[in-house]
Structures are given as structure tokens and as C-alpha cells.
Copies of this chain bind each other. A is one copy, B any other.
């Protein structure tokens, strides 16, 4: 499964795996793909340093990358406390009421709450980058718009390719104009922040809009057939996130979340603003239902919603309050029915890809294949 991009990066398969877990990122690269570590949860630079050291020690010299969340729009001179003060009391009360309704216990004294929002602040992302640029990462991805120009320049100086996610051809063109090297076309069916255009339509649109820039297809991909489909659409590779949530190497904070993921079907996700204030696909739960209920207060814009719910989500996770417990994940969750190793997922992807190519050749009447 070789494209120009996979050759440039020196990987065997054009499969990019986004994961918050160092063990998963290293395993993806070892299996012949390209592991990308999500940095958003690292609020302490030393934690990121420790985990990058771990990857270096376990990646067998294979290439890997880092994914940060730098907001396109910078909020200058506003403290987290000042942002906190913008949250209406009615919304705070709704959180308290909902938690009380389900009997969600408080956190113990001194327990940390909610990394979610701080990780989005540009200063945190810059601290992460200061750490990451000391490691031989080959790719830097940004989930929210194009990274600032100085970050792109610094990456290019170190021969690091820069990728950015886009949900429309228009955003993809903005990325190209900002000097980005790779566009990740994130379809409607993907987990996390998504637009409304499905992968089948979005991928070729983005490919045509930014050609000859390479495009990775993201959203709805978890089998070899889907890899073949994405590459047929013109992508130079696939970007998988959800699929790694239930691998044996993953370290989900809660076994209850894993159980929910393994049981969920493709219709059990929702694109909701409940998590961050922007539409993000996630497991549908009684928590997302409460926020999406027209009789409720509704969600706040980013970054207020994330700040508002950070502690609540920590409490729900810590105490595994099943009806409220969710996680960002795409519609491919319906295919995540057992815990497998990263290598087993790759074996399945590559075998399924070869079978799909056999099939399409038969349909096309190509001989000798």
C-alpha cells in the first residue's frame, strides 16, 4: 500500500494512526503505518517528554508524528479565569442538576479536573511544541485550522511535514495557502470535530482543490475495503483515529468506555456541541441528549462549553456513570467489536485491502491480477 506520501515518509503502508496513547502510536509505526501521538492531554511538558522518550525507545527507529490543537484564532491577553466568568449561571446550574440527577459523586480533594480546555490554549500547544521539536518527529498535525506561520517555518526548518484537518475544500485551500504540506480531509462520519460533508464527497473535492498536495482521507475508515475506497477517491493515504480506541495497547481511562465502544453500532454516535461548543462526533449518551434537548439551555460556544463541562466529564469518567459516559468516536465504531492488537488491525486492513483490489480488478475485467 504505497503512495508518493508513504514513500516520502518511508513507511510500508499509507495508514496514519492518530492516538492519545504512546504505546499505540509506537505500535502503529512498528506495524508499518505512521503513528501520530495526540498531544492535547499533555498540560505538563515533562509528561510529554516522558512519553516521547518512551516512543523513541519502542518505535524501532520507525517514523512517527505529533498532533497538537492550536486554535486558528488567538485569544490575546484573556486569562482562563476571565473566560470562566463568561459562563452563565443557568448553564452551571444545569450541569449541577444533571450530575445530581444521576448521582455523580464529587471528585476527591486535590484530584485534577478537566485537561480538555487548557490543552486548546495556544500557549500550551507552544509548550508542547518546544518539547516535541527536540525529538525526530516527521509530521506535525494540527486539528484546528492552520498552525501559525512561525510554527510552520520552524517545522519545515527541521524537515517536518505539516498536516492540517479540513472539513471542506475551502478550508483545505486555506491550509495550502498557509504552507501546509498535507491536508487531512475529515468527513462527516469521523470522530471528533467534523463538518457536514461525507468522506465519499469530501475526499475527491479536497484532492482536486489542493492538487498536487497530498490528501489523507479521514472518517468512516476501519477496514481494508474502506482503505481501498479512500485511495480510489484520490487520497494518498488514510487517517484512522477511532479504530485504535479499543486496541489492546490502548489505555482508556475507563473499562466502561471500552465496553460501550465494543457494544455500539454505527448509529450510536451523534454530532454534538456538548463536548467543546463545536460539533464533534461522539457516542450518543444521556449526557449528549441533555445538551441537545431543545428544552435544555443548549450549549455554549467554544471555548466556554469545554470549560463548563470539564470537571463534570472528569467526575463522570472517574466514577464510570454509565448512562452519561461517552467519548469522541466516529461511525466506524460499529466495526469495533473486539479488542485486538494494533498488529491484528493492520493485518486485517492489509488483507482486506488486497481482497478489495482483487475484486475491483475482476469487476473492471482486468486480467493477470
Q: A residues near B, CB below 8 A?
A: 1-3, 14, 168-169, 187-189, 195-202, 204-205, 219-221, 223, 225-226, 228-234, 266-267, 294, 331-332, 334, 353-354, 356-357, 359-361, 363-369
**Which of chain B's residues have a CB closer than 8 A to the CB of A219?**
198, 200
A269 CB to closest chain B CB (Å) equals 9
Contact yes or no, A231 B198, CB < 8 A: no
**Beyond A233-B229, A360-B232, A368-B368, is A200–B189 a contact (Cβ under 8 Å)?**
yes
CB–CB A14/B363 < 8 A: yes
Q: Which of A3, A225, A231, A232 has the most B CB atoms < 10 Å from its CB?
A: A232
Q: Once the chains are docked, how many angstroms separate the CA of A2 from the CA of B359?
A: 11
Provided the pairs A228-B232, A229-B230, A230-B229 are in contact, do residues A363 and B3 lie with their beta carbons within 8 angstroms?
Answer: yes
Chain B residue nearest to A1 in the complex (CB): B363
Chain B residues with Cβ below 8 Å from A204 are 223, 225-226
Q: Which residues of B contact A205 (CB under 8 A)?
A: 266, 334
How far apart sit A71 and B145, CA to CA, in the bound complex (Å)? 45
Which 9 A/B pairs are nearest by Cβ-Cβ distance? A200-B220, A229-B229, A189-B198, A228-B232, A198-B198, A368-B368, A229-B232, A201-B331, A201-B220
List the B residue with the shortest CB-CB distance to A330.
B201
The distance in angstroms between the C-alpha atoms of A168 and B266, with both chains bound, is 9
Contact A199 B200 (CB under 8 A): yes
CB neighbours of A223 from chain B (8 A): 204
Partner of A187, one of B200, B202, B221: B200
Q: List 12 A-B contacts (CB under 8 A).
A: A1-B363, A189-B200, A199-B200, A200-B221, A201-B220, A201-B226, A205-B334, A231-B359, A232-B356, A233-B356, A357-B360, A357-B366
Most buried by B among A169, A220, A334: A220
Among candidates B229, B234, B359, residue contacting A200 with C-beta atoms closer than 8 Å: B229
Q: Does A220 contact B234, Cβ atoms closer than 8 Å? A: no
Q: In the complex, how many angstroms separate the beta carbon of A283 from the nearest chain B beta carbon?
A: 14
Q: How far is the CB of A141 from chain B (nearest CB, A)?
A: 21
Chain B residues with CB under 8 A of A353:
364
- Which residues on B sit within 8 Å (CB–CB) of A230? 200, 229
Q: A202 — which chain B residues lie within 8 A by C-beta?
A: 266
| Min distance, Cβ A310 to any Cβ of chain B, angstroms | 27
Nearest chain B CB to A12's CB is how many angstroms away? 11
A209 to chain B, nearest CB (A): 11
In the complex formed, the residue of B with least CB distance to A226 is B200
Contacts of A196 in B (CB 8 A): 267
A2 x B200 contact (CB < 8 A): no
Distance in Å: Cβ of A203 to nearest Cβ of chain B:
8
Query: B332–A201 contact, CB under 8 A?
Result: yes
Which of chain B's residues have a CB closer than 8 A to the CB of A2? 363, 365
Name the B residues within 8 Å of A332 (CB-CB): 201
Contact (Cβ within 8 A) A201 B266: yes
Could you say which residues of chain B place their CB within 8 Å of the CB of A367? 368
Residues in B neighbouring A231, C-beta threshold 8 A: 359-360, 363
